[in-house]
């Protein structure tokens, strides 16, 4: 059995016009120590899937096991990084991280908890800004705090919900490298599931990329392995011949899957007489990926 094993996950939310089916019998499995990215359009249900995998939100149907244990609520071995940082604004960076360490390691002495928090803040380059409040930090620095908070509890599973989505391109590139460094330092001890709408980011960090079709009733496509040596860099992805080929392969597989899904949807919609508009919508969304 895979380390993370989710099968037949469905989720719908009540809406005015009846229930909105966001996920339809989605299955994922992730091996121990693997870094998997789920890539798809905005609003296709990626975040919902991640929230279900991590135990923040319960699924309507389906089963999730992590390391053989069924998921019910957020596991003590899991950390989550959200797109909007989710730091508590009344605490300093250090206090935010300490709160996590204290909750995860209540048996440690206070000094030990503090040292652990300081160590991980230093690891993400915030050694000099630990005592600042989130509103005194830039977006990139805030996300560094959130990443430090996630790693400071030494999790076995890491869930990343578009962690760099709100950052400018340069900051994003820096943080991607930092994250890659932290993940490779943790080695086989940490298994990561990342949600992203940025293919290069996924290529840079992942062992496997799973495409997600646009919702409603979102499903996952066949995973694409990223067989590139680490450490990777954006330059490498753009210029190295092997990397460019790998990238092309990934992009083709992903777009094939999305096209197939769109064609299926278009066929279904043509029965109701709106095929053309469906194709137009699909094409205009293609540009994002």
Question: Under the rule (CB under 8 A), what is the footprint of another protein?
Answer: 54, 56, 73-74, 76, 78-80, 82, 84, 86-91, 99-100, 103-104, 133
CB 39 within 8 A of CB 22: no
CB 89 → another protein: shortest distance, Å?
7
Q: If 0-12 CB within 10 Å is exposed, 13-18 middle and 19+ buried, where does residue 196 land?
A: buried
Cα 140 from chain centroid?
A: 17
Of 13 and 274, the one with the shorter C-beta distance to another protein is 13
CB 54 → another protein: shortest distance, Å?
8
Of 84 and 270, the one with the shorter C-beta distance to another protein is 84
Of 78 and 137, the one with the shorter C-beta distance to another protein is 78
CB 146 within 8 A of CB 81: yes
CB 66 → another protein: shortest distance, Å?
15
CB 84 → another protein: shortest distance, Å?
6
CB 136 → another protein: shortest distance, Å?
11
Sheet hosting strand 69-70, strand order edge to edge: 20-30, 4-13, 61-66, 69-70
Q: How far apart are CA 210 and CA 225, in angstroms?
A: 9
Of 91 and 279, the one with the shorter C-beta distance to another protein is 91
Of 104 and 251, the one with the shorter C-beta distance to another protein is 104
Residues 6+ apart with CB under 8 A from 79: 100, 149, 150, 151, 153, 155, 157, 158, 159
């Amino acid at each position: 059995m895979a380390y993370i094993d989710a099968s037949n996950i469905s989720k719908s939310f009540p809406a005015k016009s009846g229930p909105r089916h966001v996920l339809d019998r989605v299955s994922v499995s992730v091996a121990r120590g693997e870094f998997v990215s789920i890539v798809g359009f905005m609003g296709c249900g990626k975040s919902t899937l991640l929230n279900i995998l991590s135990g923040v939100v319960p699924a309507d149907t389906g089963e999730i096991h992590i390391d053989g244990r069924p998921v019910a609520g957020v596991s003590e071995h899991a950390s989550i990084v959200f797109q909007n940082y989710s730091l508590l604004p009344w605490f300093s960076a250090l206090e935010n991280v300490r709160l996590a360490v204290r909750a995860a390691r209540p048996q440690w002495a206070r000094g030990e908890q503090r040292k652990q928090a300081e160590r991980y803040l230093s690891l993400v380059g915030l050694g000099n800004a630990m005592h600042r409040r989130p509103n005194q930090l830039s977006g990139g620095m805030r996300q560094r705090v959130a990443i430090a908070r996630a790693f400071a509890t030494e999790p076995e599973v890491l869930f990343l919900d578009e962690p760099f989505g709100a950052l400018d391109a340069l900051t994003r590139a820096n943080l991607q490298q930092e994250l890659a460094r932290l993940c490779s330092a943790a080695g086989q001890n940490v298994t990561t599931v990342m949600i992203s709408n940025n293919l290069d980011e996924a290529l840079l960090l992942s062992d496997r990329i799973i495409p997600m079709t646009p919702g409603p009733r979102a499903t996952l496509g066949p995973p694409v392995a990223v067989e590139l040596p680490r450490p990777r860099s954006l330059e490498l992805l753009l210029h190295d011949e092997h990397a460019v080929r790998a990238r092309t392969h990934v992009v083709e597989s992903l777009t094939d899957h999305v096209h197939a899904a769109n064609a299926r949807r278009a066929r279904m919609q043509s029965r109701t007489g709106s095929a053309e508009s469906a194709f137009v919508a699909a094409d205009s969304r293609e540009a994002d990926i």
